Amino acid sequence: MAPAIYSATRRQLSLAYQEFAGPEQLSPEEHRTWEAARAATEFSYAPYSHFHVGAALLLADGSLFQGTNQENAAYPSGLCAERTALFGLAGSRPTPPRLVGMAVAGRPAAGAFGAALPCGACRQVMLEYELRQGAPIWLLLPSVQGTVLRFERLADLLPFHFSAEDLPPRA
């Protein structure tokens, strides 16, 4: 018996982002958002991991909204900084304001700032906000090498995402 021959179309994704040697190369509004994320780490509750994460959201009116990771002895009950910022903002306003950008920062309890990359759940939630507003949200992340990564839109972090179009029609 001859082996089955499968036909597939090969596709390729490409990811575009900017890499800056340091935050001093960012625009003034990006730098302010970056520093707000770093400052937010001071309010993190991380008695178990000892890794403090802060997130800062830049709103269209120029104001900033911060969030931090909140841990719990029942580990699944904690929440990441990105989601506390987004959920806190949405929960504090009758109409969520337009988000222009966001930044994430992380540091150990006793140490220098380092990489802090959003988990899959945070990426999905972040993207939902971008899809809701119908406009891109830029993102600043610290890399493992100590550089600053800038993404033009959150969709670049989660190319195969789940959205409202994936849900079955409502009866």
Residue 127 tokens read as 């993207």
Catalytic residue among 30, 35, 71, 82: 82
Q: What are phi and psi of 55, to 5 degrees?
A: -130, 145
* % of the chain residues with pLDDT over 90: 73
The yes-or-no answer on residue 71 being catalytic is no
Per residue in 33-45, pLDDT (tens digit) is 999 999 999 999 9
Q: Which of 24, 45, 41, 32 is nearest to 111 (CA)?
A: 41
Q: Give the pTM.
A: 0.90
Q: Return d(Cα 47, Cα 70) in angstroms, integer.
A: 9
Domains and CATH numbers, the chain: 28-159 (3.40.140.10)
